[in-house]
Structure 1
Amino acid sequence: MTAPTPSSPQPGRPSGPEPGRQPLHDPWAARPPAGEGVDTPERGGPTGEVVGASDLWQWILTAVAVTAGGALLGLLWWWLAPDVAYISDGRDAFLRNNESEDSFGVQGTFALLAAALGVLSGLVAFLLRRAGGVGVVLGLASGGVLGSWAGAWFGGLLGPGGDLTARAVEAGRGGVFSGPLELSGWVLWLLWPLAALTTHLLLVAAFGPREAAPRVPPQSWGTPQDRPPKDVSPQDRPPNSAVPPAPQHPRPQPPGEPPRP
């Protein structure tokens, strides 16, 4: 089984596209390689710059503003968190009530305050920057983590001292004192950035600016060939016309009549 032989160009029809006419669309043509005619990040085209200068400044400003809110978190945590009572035996400190929920209340108060400040920071970031952007998202994420760390440090600084042994010796045998404000793990630091990013994402998706959908031109299988006007005779057609002239057949001669020149 042999491959079909391509047909030879007809006389009067140009073999290639005419000057000034766009070539026909070929949907089966191979796409150009990634290095030819395509802007890639390696070549430094429009898609190569992931984070620009403006996004970098937005990242820094957002992170600094959110981190500054850590002072408010620490102040509210110290004010609203319950006191955890300890009792001293003269050398060591023990919980006064082992079944008390005060120690869990300290962790829960910090978690609720961090989530509330995360929602507030996401809302403020959306109101100031409705279009969003990479810088705002990175600023909320990094600033939320740093703000949680700053709030935990500042709250512990405002609360009672953290050296339980020294305070137990100071209180004496049978003395009761309040324990320090401490977190059981660093996982609680992630509540602020998660709440901020979730709030900002939902607000941008619901009330953010909409981009106009690009209009894609319909792809056709080809362009119709130009046809010569009807009032032009086959002899007056240009030699490079797209439609070849009709073949001229001699008229049949009656029998017995000499052929005409």
Structure 2
Amino acid sequence: MTVPNTPPDPAPADVQAVPDAASDPFAPPQGVTALGHGTTPLGQRLLPEVRVGAGVVIACLVAGLVVAGLWAWLAPKVPLVVDGDRILYADPEGEQRAGADALFVLIGLGAGIVTALGAFLVTRRRGGGISVALGLTIGGLLGSIGAWRIGRWLGPSSDLIGEARRVGDGGHFDASIDLGALGALLVWPMTAMVVLLMLSAAFGKREEDPPPYWGAPAGASPAGAPAGPWDGPGTETGSGTETGSGPGH
């Protein structure tokens, strides 16, 4: 027994006539994977990031030369005096060693602020990225180590015996500068990271989240998807009225 007004079963020929390759509105575009990446090789995507990071590291190394010169020039020197066959402190209660450490920390703070600000301004258009942060971290640490080593070389000689013989008995000379607290080497990279984070949060590039690969911009139907009853030409969203012919018109 057949229910009235029931359409007949489609014939095999009608079923075969339906195209199997109909466009799927939820399929990703050509060359796009489920993760949203194209078919670009991984090496080509990483190469620009490596270049940016390497440029930041090189800039930090150059800044390290400036830091070394400032530290060797401004760091307080420890005065020594030759007394017979002994080398004594001219000012036993002096705090020149601590002053050298404090000065290195202050210069490191300034270097971290300057390098982070410069890297942010240069890479702001591209949106920064992890390469900038890694470049500042590695470059800041290497720059601090280089400034420490080069600053010691630029400062007074570390050959106390040779300097004592040069000035003779009763002569005065300065001891070499050095860091008593090696933790000062971390000031530059840590400052750079904090400043970069603050600048990125306050003035960083703002980008809207892209729609999923299967979706479409807000307010638009996916390509090939049939319009819903609210997308028709004769409806008004939210008004509750519908134009067109119907009962009573």
The superposition leaves residues 177-231 of structure 1 with CA deviations (integer Å, 9 ceiling, x where unpaired) of 11112112432221111111111111011100112135688xxxxxxxxxxxxxx
Among candidates 169, 177, 200, match of residue 173 of structure 2: 177
Letter paired with 2:162: A
Report the secondary structure of 1:88's partner residue.
Answer: strand
Find the aligned partners of 2:49 and 2:122 in 1 and give their Cα distance: 14
SS of 1:69's equivalent in the other structure is helix
Q: Any conservation in 1 of the 2:97–2:180 contact (CA below 8 Å)? A: no
- Indicate the residue corresponding to 1:146 in structure 2: 142
Query: How far apart, CA to CA, are the structure 2 residues paired with 1:88 and 1:60?
Result: 48
Change (3 A) 1:132 1:21: closer
Aligned-pair distance for 1:174? 2.9
Are positions 1:109 and 2:81 aligned together? no
CA shift, 1:79, in A, is: 2.0
2:46 match:
52
Length-normalised TM-score, structure 1: 0.62
Which consecutive unaligned segments of at least 5 residues does structure 1 have? 1-10, 23-36, 218-261
Whole-angstrom distance in 2 between the partners of 1:182 and 1:94? 18
Query: What is the deviation of 1:109?
Result: 0.8
Q: Report the CA distance between 1:98 and its aligned residue.
A: 2.3
User: Following TM superposition, by how much is the alpha carbon of 1:162 offset from its aligned partner in structure 2, in angstroms?
Assistant: 0.9
- Quote the RMSD (CA, aligned, Å): 3.6
Match of residue 80 from structure 2? 86
Equivalent residue number for residue 232 of structure 1: none
| Residue 162 of structure 1: aligned partner | 158
User: When the two structures are aligned, how many residues end up with a matched partner?
Assistant: 193
Partner of 1:74 in structure 2? 68
Identity %: 32
d(CA) in 2 for partners of 1:145 and 1:91? 41
Distance 1:159 1:67 in 2: 19
- The equivalent residue for 1:100 is 94
For residues 21 and 103 of structure 1, what CA distance do their matches in structure 2 show?
Answer: 76
The within-5 A match list for 1:1-261 is 52-130=46-124, 131-214=127-210
- C-alpha distance in 1 between matches for 2:198 and 2:101: 27
What is the CA-CA distance between 1:90 and the residue it aligns to? 3.6
Q: 8 Å contact 2:117–2:196 — kept in the other structure?
A: yes
Structure 2 stretches lacking a partner, 5+ long: 1-5, 10-19, 25-32, 216-249
4+ residue runs over 3 A deviation: 19-22, 213-217
Deviations 1:111-135 (A, max 9, x none): 1011101100000111101111122
The aligned amino acid for 1:105 is: G
| Shift of residue 171, structure 1, vs aligned partner | 2.8
Q: Distance in 1 between matches of 2:86 and 2:210?
A: 72
User: In structure 2, do the counterparts of structure 1 residues 202 and 164 end up closer, same or farther at CA, with 3 Å as the change threshold?
Assistant: same
Larger Rg: 1
Maintained 8 Å contact 2:80/2:87: yes
Decide whether the 8 Å contact of 2:82 with 2:88 is kept in 1: yes
Alpha-carbon distance between aligned partners in 2 of 1:136 and 1:21, rounded to the nearest angstrom: 42
Give the TM-score of the pair, scaled to structure 2. 0.65
**Structure 1 residues 174 and 134: alpha-carbon distance in aligned structure 2, compared to 1, 3 A threshold:** same
For the Cα contact (< 8 Å) 1:92–1:169, is it kept in 2? no
Using the TM superposition, give the Cα deviation of residue 45 of structure 1 relative to its aligned residue in structure 2, in angstroms: 8.3
Q: 1:138 to 1:55 in 2, by over 3 A?
A: same
* Cα distance between partner residues in 1 of 2:89 and 2:97: 10
